[in-house]
Amino acid sequence: MLKIYNTLSKEKEVFQPINPEKVGMYVCGMTVYDYCHMGHARVLVMFDVITRHLRRHFPQVEYVRNITDIDDKIIQRAIENKEDIYALTNRFIDAMHEDERALGILPPDAEPRATDAIDQMFYMIKTLIDKGIAYQGENGDVYYSVRQFKNYGKLSGKNIDDLEAGARVGVESNKKDPLDFVLWKMAKPNEPSWESPWGDGRPGWHIECSAMSCNHLGNHFDIHGGGMDLAFPHHENEIAQSEGANDCTFVNTWMHVGFVNINNEKMSKSLDNFFTIRGVMENYDGESLRYFIMSSHYRSPLNFSDENLDNAKASLTRLYTATRGLQASESAMEEVSQRFDFEARMTAALDDDFNTPIALSILFELAKMVNAEREKDLDQANALGQLLKNSVVTLAFYKWMQMNF
């Protein structure tokens, strides 16, 4: 029985898909103006683990992860680089795919780009305006009227009045309310823009995810995920947009991955304390990074340090060493698997809100057993060793898959 912690209820819940034949999951992906850092790596790896595990339970899982390829930072970076905006975004999309492969991550089933979804955004914005939930300011920008959505704040546990009290004095005098957020932004000269019913411009950040997720997975789907920092305001705003436009529940289960920290501080671009995946991979292999990420529970903070990466590498080496030179038939492996309950325990660990540290600890128990049996009963050692190889593949330590033992 798979249980998932839902940010919406703040509880672990038994996961029951809307359609048991097909699970829909949307994860907020990258804004592509720079290389991915370790924080991105954590989200990528964890949702890879999650997708693989969901596929063990359900016949079909549709995993959609978007790419934000138009926004202020992208435009700014393109100007700085004197680079065409599409050349810039394509370059970093390629780099992202390279990083993913290095971490053993399966590509999502769909990877929609914001710039390909403008029509769907128009449709949603128009619906919101028609319903009186969105309005056009005097500067031409279209805003979402937060006060029109009664459940605003339900995901992040905030309420509008508290937010209002702490809000900084609005620079945006075109908004009716400081908390209103932009759906469509008028283009400045020389900026990339699309013709729209409200004037030439480009989409706000939040609307793209509402449009793309509903477009691929329907108005109501199972799982929506991303980094913890997206819960507010991004996901809160997505809920407001989607539920405001579609008059139905948007997402059942919200999942948020914790931060990667450095010296107990969030890794982020603004603090300039980030390490890119490819930078770290100059000194460590992708599989060790994957292990490092799985060594803590996905909702806990993960502290990035050389010591911890060395630790991950050493741990992984122990698992590799244990399987060295061992192999057995499928049936022999099945026999020990059932006798020692290993697969069931692995499944149970992952079923408990994707508890990868427990899953890993089970692999070490198995490794210990394998090592002990090498001296006593070689047949048993071979069977257990084969089981360890198979179990390890469950967590997608991919070298095992490529190795010929």
Partner RNA sequence: GGCCGGAUAGCAAAGCGGUUAUGCAGGGGCCUGCAAAGCCUUACAGACCAGUUCGAUUCUGGUUCCGGCCUCCA
For RNA, the binding residues in 243-302 under the rule CB under 7 A are 257-261, 264-270, 295-297, 300-302
CB of 269 to RNA, least distance (A): 6
Q: Does 374 bind RNA (CB under 7 A)?
A: yes
Nearest to 41 by CA among 238, 209, 263, 274: 274
Site string for RNA, 61-80 (x = CB under 7 A): ------------x-------
Query: For residues 103 and 95, what is the distance between their CA atoms, to the nearest angstrom?
Result: 13
Q: Which residue type is seen at 339?
A: R
Query: For residues 103 and 171, what is the distance between their CA atoms, to the nearest angstrom?
Result: 42
CB of 400 to RNA, least distance (A): 17
Q: Which of residues 202-221 bind RNA (CB under 7 A)?
A: 205
Q: In this chain, which of 56, 150, 318, 339 binds RNA, going by CB under 7 A?
A: 318
Q: In this chain, which of 307, 330, 331, 402 binds RNA, going by CB under 7 A?
A: 307
Helices then strands, counting H and E runs in the chain, come out as 15, 13
Site string for RNA, 32-51 (x = CB under 7 A): -----x-xx-xx--------
Nearer to RNA, 86 or 232 (CB): 232
| Cis peptide leading into residue 233 (ω within 30°) | yes
Q: Phi, psi (5° rounding) for residue 62?
A: -105, 110
Q: In this chain, which of 6, 31, 115, 391 binds RNA, going by CB under 7 A?
A: 31
Nearer to RNA, 107 or 157 (CB): 157
Collapsed DSSP state (helix, strand, coil) of residue 327: coil
Nearer to RNA, 223 or 302 (CB): 302
Number of residues forming the site for RNA (CB under 7 A)? 72
Q: In this chain, which of 357, 393, 394, 399 binds RNA, going by CB under 7 A?
A: 357
Q: Does 3 bind RNA (CB under 7 A)?
A: no
Nearest to 8 by CA among 353, 355, 252: 252
CB of 311 to RNA, least distance (A): 5
Q: Does 163 bind RNA (CB under 7 A)?
A: yes
Query: For residues 172 and 178, what is the distance between their CA atoms, to the nearest angstrom?
Result: 7
Query: For residues 196 and 219, what is the distance between their CA atoms, to the nearest angstrom?
Result: 23
Q: In this chain, which of 174, 219, 246, 355 binds RNA, going by CB under 7 A?
A: 355
Query: For residues 356 and 352, what is the distance between their CA atoms, to the nearest angstrom?
Result: 9
CB of 230 to RNA, least distance (A): 4
Q: Does 190 bind RNA (CB under 7 A)?
A: no
Q: What is the residue-wise DSSP string for 83-138?
A: --HHHHHHHHHHHHHHHHHHTTPPPPSB--BGGG-HHHHHHHHHHHHHTTSEEE-T
Nearer to RNA, 50 or 228 (CB): 228
In what helix (H) or strand (E) does residue 222 lie, and over which residues does it extend?
Answer: strand 221-227
In the DSSP assignment, the letter for residue 194 is B
Q: In this chain, which of 157, 197, 279, 325 binds RNA, going by CB under 7 A?
A: 157
Q: Does 87 bind RNA (CB under 7 A)?
A: no
Q: Which of residues 88-147 bind RNA (CB under 7 A)?
A: none
